[in-house]
Amino acid sequence: MQTTRSPGAFFPHFPPELFKPVPSGLLAWADRQRQRAALARLEDRMLADIGVSRAEAEARRHN
């Protein structure tokens, strides 16, 4: 039996499709927090590739 995963399984949508019609400051804040946390988890080499220092990533994480 062969199973195929959809790309959505690896890259879930945010905000969930259910909430997209309703603009929300809370959802925008949650999305920014998720992005900042992802940025903080990157290795220094990866940060350098996108032109961000570790100090900048950490500073953005706490905003």
d(CA 59, CA 47): 13
The per-residue pLDDT for 24 is: 77
The answer to whether the beta carbons of residues 59 and 36 sit under 8 Å apart is no
The answer to whether the beta carbons of residues 54 and 41 sit under 8 Å apart is no
The per-residue pLDDT for 15 is: 60
d(CA 44, CA 32): 21
The 10s digit of each residue's pLDDT in 3-58 is: 555 555 555 666 666 666 666 788 888 888 888 888 888 999 999 999 999 998 88
The per-residue pLDDT for 11 is: 55
Enter the pTM of the model.
0.54
Q: Is the pLDDT of residue 62 over 80?
A: no
From 53, 12, 3, 9, select the one nearest 31 (Cα to Cα): 12
